């Protein structure tokens, strides 16, 4: 198995793994290739450690022909490379960190692609499982049925938050720095979390991407004027339907338990309904996380499913 030269087989992965991508030099990245038949990036993120202090290896930017033997060879080479770097556990697909391109789509390809989605072929998860990887986390994207009733459900707690000095406004381009700080704190206990620096965040959320969400993304302002939370959302076509997609919802830990989540959700639904949206979707939710426990991830409303995989090496 040779170390790869040149471009990654996927444009998005090539952008993330290019030497000039912000923060790229903070990671140990080696591209491995099976000729022109497949390629994978073996990555060590310096912030990801297991309970014993050993690094957790990552495999990302995966592409392979429809040949399980080639896939097994490629993934075995990636695992061996990471084992030599001191890793006892390998997870993926993750390119650099879970902030970046990660997960496989495992069901729902016919719904179409939405920004942030993996775009793997259906064979990819099967190839990883055949190579000894097991699913370690599930994610889903779901329709939110009857948005009027959901908004009404959130209204009482939203009013409580307003009485306690919270308010909502729309996202602004100048909010990027505050969004970074809120997200960093809000997701610090998330599965396989690793912090990123501000320049990496800005590369993932460039001005044009934030602009795409300005009209529909609510930002909660706390009593002291700080940003207490936000919901990054944007319009998209999902399964042929004009849809308002809710992508990233974060509430700063200091503001939790005060109705900020409900205030943000209520505002988002009211914004979308006022703009004429009939279809709303929560995107890339952890299938065992808080949104799922609140009922947003029922099987009958599922649009797409995703997974992360892992194995010992």
What is the full DSSP assignment across 188-217? TTSTT-----HHHHHHHS-HHHHHHHTTT-
Counting as low any pLDDT under 50, the low residues of the chain are 2-10
Which listed CATH number (3.40.50.2000, 3.90.228.20, 3.40.630.30, 3.90.1150.10) goes with 142-305?
Answer: 3.40.630.30
225-244 tens-digit pLDDT: 999 999 999 999 999 999 99
The pLDDT, as a whole number, for residue 9 is 37
Tell me the domain boundaries of the chain: 2-102, 142-305
Cα distance between residue 146 and residue 50, in whole Å: 42
103-143 tens-digit pLDDT: 999 999 889 899 889 989 999 999 999 999 999 999 999 99
Cα distance between residue 248 and residue 232, in whole Å: 5
């Amino acid at each position: 198995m040779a170390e790869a030269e040149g471009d990654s087989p996927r444009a998005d992965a090539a952008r993330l793994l290019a030497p000039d991508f912000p923060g790229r030099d903070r990671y140990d990245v080696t591209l491995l290739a099976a000729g022109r038949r497949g390629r994978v990036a073996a990555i060590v993120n310096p912030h990801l450690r297991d309970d014993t202090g050993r690094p957790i290896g990552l495999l990302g930017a995966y592409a392979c022909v429809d040949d399980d033997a080639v896939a097994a060879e490629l993934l075995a080479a990636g695992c061996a490379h990471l084992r030599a770097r001191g890793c006892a556990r390998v997870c993926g697909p993750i390119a650099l960190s879970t902030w970046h391109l990660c997960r496989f789509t495992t069901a729902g390809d016919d719904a179409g692609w939405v920004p942030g989605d993996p775009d793997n072929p259906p064979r990819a998860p099967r190839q990883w499982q055949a190579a000894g990887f097991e699913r370690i986390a599930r994610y889903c994207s779901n329709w939110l049925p009857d948005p009027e009733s959901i908004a009404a459900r959130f209204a009482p707690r939203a009013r409580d938050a307003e009485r306690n000095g919270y308010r909502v406004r729309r996202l602004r381009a100048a909010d990027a720095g505050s969004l970074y700080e809120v997200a960093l704190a809000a997701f610090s206990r998330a599965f396989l979390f690793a912090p990123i620096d501000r320049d990496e965040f800005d590369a993932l959320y460039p001005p044009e991407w934030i602009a795409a969400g300005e009209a529909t993304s609510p930002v909660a302002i706390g009593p002291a004027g700080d940003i207490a939370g936000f919901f990054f959302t944007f319009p998209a076509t999902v399964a042929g339907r004009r849809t308002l997609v809710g992508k990233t919802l974060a509430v700063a830990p200091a503001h939790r338990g005060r109705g900020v989540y409900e205030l943000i959700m209520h505002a988002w639904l009211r914004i979308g309904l006022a703009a004429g949206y009939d279809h709303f979707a929560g995107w890339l939710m952890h299938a065992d996380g808080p949104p799922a426990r609140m009922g947003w991830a029922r099987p009958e409303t599922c649009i797409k499913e995703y997974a992360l995989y892992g194995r010992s090496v």
